[in-house]
Structure 1
Amino acid sequence: MKPRIAIIGAGLAGLTLARELNSIADISLFEKARGLGGRMSTRRNDTHQWDHGAQFFTARSRAFNALLAPFIASATVVEWQPNITTLSPDQAPFKRPWFEPHYVAAPGMNSLLKAMAGELDIHLSTRVEQVRAHNGGWQLFDDKAQLLGEFDWVVSSAPLPQTQELLPKSLLGDSLDRYQMLPCYSLLLTVADADLPHFDAAKVNNDPLSWISFNHRLPGRNIQAGTVVAHSTADWAARHLEDDQAQVKQQLIERFCALTQVALKAITSAQLHRWRYALSAEVTEPEAEFVLNSQAKLAACGDWCLGGRVEAAFTSAYALVQVLKAQL
């Protein structure tokens, strides 16, 4: 009989676990959001779409390149070769070269996860509220105290704070304390394309904003022009996390206009998304790719284990898979 494994979170880490283990275990994924994506999410309305989390990713490991190969062949993943610049309040803009391939998923960043999901058993809009020991295994309950199932193993690929709340500290000790997640604001604008600068994206220095991208200029997008995503720095977001959100939005709009010379009247709509758990501090300790208690059959993984890049989510899950395969 195959072991039953519950995976909490259906982002890149959770889907990697499920795909790699699906042939040797009965896998159930639980995702609190309405759709796949996590920080590779895409927000849409009737006319525009914004990749308001991860903006691109690189592929530096052989294993991640192997995962991406069929999706590159199908044009679900496309290399991005933007005209990218560097902006700052006190220096003239200058062109910023990239020295390795950068990729985006098409037509939205969550398209890669949709393609990876295949026929996996995924329960969307399902918030796991409690993980309870039962008869040598685990029971999962949702936010209405309804039983979601009984499992031999539980693996959390949810953001760090949610993982800390769900998994028993008595069994994992202080192994999760070495990690830290940081916040970020995403400013989502619509601006007439004719009013935007000529570049496709900008790295921003010495400013509350850290990144600006014109999403409609990404490859594989069939969307109306004038879609802008601007990200704040983690430090600025942490200082203003509980501020009035209308004021936060207005401050970031003003910084966007000052950096790009876009007139305020050219902005036709503006939304703000607060990511409480967006970025991850670098972890340099050895054996930090994942957290595992084999005896209790509990584990956790995610990009927060390895510094927060998209590939880090895959790497953390893939490293955990190699250990689990030997134990299942």
Structure 2
Amino acid sequence: MKPNIAIIGAGLAGLTLARELADHANITLFEKARGLGGRMATRRRDRHRWDHGAQFFTARSRAFKTLLRPFIDNGTVVEWRPNITTLSPRQPPYKRPWFEPHYVATPGMNGLLKAMSPGLNIALQTRVDTLKQEAGKWRLFDDQRAELGEFDWVISSAPLPQTEVLLPLAADTYAGFGMRPCYALMLTVNDGDLPAWDAAQVNDSPLRWIAFNHRLPGRDRNFGAVVAHSTADWADAHLEDHQEQVKHTLTEQFCTLTGVSPNAVQDAQLHRWRYAQANAVENDPEGYVLDAERKLAACGDWCLGGRVEAAFTSAHRLAAQLIRQGL
């Protein structure tokens, strides 16, 4: 009989793990949000669309390239060749070259996750709050104390701080891992009011990245959508500030850096990512957390120092280890 496995989180790591274990176990994914994506999320308002989490990804490993190949072939994933610049309040802008392919999903970054999800058992808007072990099985409960089922394994692909709270593992299990916050500013600006470049790395500013999302492949240029990300240091220092003031400050920074008139900004939204960027990981970690005796595990980009591909690689390595040990 196949074991029952609960996977918490339906971002890239959770979906990768579910797909790779599907022939070996009965899988249920629990996702607290209304849709798939995690930090590969896309927000919509009317016909505007903002990829307010991950902006792009690279593919360096053979395994990740293998996963992407059919999605590249069918147009779900497209290489992005932007006109990219570097901005700083201290020096003139200069062109910034890229030396490897960069990819985006269409029509939004969560398009890849949606394409990976058919056939999987996914419970959306379901927040796993508590685990209880009884007679060798794990019983899961949501934040309303309703029981979600009984499972042989529980695996978290949630961000590190949430995983630490959920999984009853030794405190030193998570030593060496960490995550930091980021603000995502989402602006509505007509394309004609924006500079000619498509994206910018930003130095010496509360902002670190600006992208004109509507110019990405598969988007509609008629509905100008700007995403600007803060630095982790600035977000750390202002995480509990009044959010309207944060939005105002970052919008001012955007206008100053780009030369866009404040009057051209038709609308501004703010998203506070408390767990946005994974800290660099020292040495060469396995890429996952595993307690085989208690049948608990965790994976995610935070296990390998960030990047979209790190989320895939962490889940891919964990799946291989679970299959090797016969679950």
TM bin (shorter chain): over 0.9
Number of aligned positions between the proteins: 326
| Aligned ranges 1:159-308 → 2 under 5 Å | 159-169=159-169, 172-222=170-220, 224-308=222-306
SS class of match (1:94):
strand
One-letter amino acid of the counterpart of residue 243, structure 1: D
Task: Supply the distance in 2 between the matched residues of 1:20 and 1:57 (Cα, whole angstroms).
Answer: 21
Q: Residues 237-289 of structure 1, C-alpha deviation per residue, up to 9 Å, x if partnerless?
A: 00000001111111100100010000100000000100000001001133341
One-letter amino acid of the counterpart of residue 262, structure 2: L
| Match in the other structure for 2:118 | 118
Q: Is the CA contact 1:47–1:223 (under 8 Å) kept in the aligned structure 2?
A: no
Task: Supply the distance in 1 between the matched residues of 2:108 and 2:140 (Cα, whole angstroms).
Answer: 32
Q: Is the CA contact 2:33–2:126 (under 8 Å) kept in the aligned structure 1?
A: yes
One-letter amino acid of the counterpart of residue 217, structure 1: R
One-letter amino acid of the counterpart of residue 125, structure 1: Q
Task: Supply the distance in 2 between the matched residues of 1:109 and 1:264 (Cα, whole angstroms).
Answer: 28
| Match in the other structure for 1:58 | 58
Q: CA shift at 1:223, angstroms?
A: 5.7
Q: Is the CA contact 2:187–2:225 (under 8 Å) kept in the aligned structure 1?
A: yes
| Match in the other structure for 1:29 | 29
SS class of match (1:283):
coil
SS class of match (1:174):
helix
Task: Supply the distance in 2 between the matched residues of 1:108 and 1:287 (Cα, whole angstroms).
Answer: 31
| Match in the other structure for 1:11 | 11
Q: CA shift at 1:220, angstroms?
A: 1.0
Q: Residues 88-109 of structure 1, C-alpha deviation per residue, up to 9 Å, x if partnerless?
A: 0111000000000000000000
One-letter amino acid of the counterpart of residue 23, structure 1: D
SS class of match (1:20):
helix
Q: Is the CA contact 1:31–1:125 (under 8 Å) kept in the aligned structure 2?
A: yes
Q: CA shift at 1:175, angstroms?
A: 1.1
Q: Is the CA contact 1:49–1:223 (under 8 Å) kept in the aligned structure 2?
A: no
One-letter amino acid of the counterpart of residue 97, structure 1: P
Task: Supply the distance in 1 between the matched residues of 2:221 and 2:263 (Cα, whole angstroms).
Answer: 22
Task: Supply the distance in 2 between the matched residues of 1:102 and 1:52 (Cα, whole angstroms).
Answer: 17
After superposition, the CA RMSD in angstroms is 0.9
In the superposition, the TM-score normalised over structure 2's length comes to 0.98
Could you tell me the percent identity over the aligned residues?
67
In the superposition, the TM-score normalised over structure 1's length comes to 0.98
Q: CA shift at 1:137, angstroms?
A: 1.6
| Match in the other structure for 1:83 | 83
Task: Supply the distance in 1 between the matched residues of 2:131 and 2:105 (Cα, whole angstroms).
Answer: 34
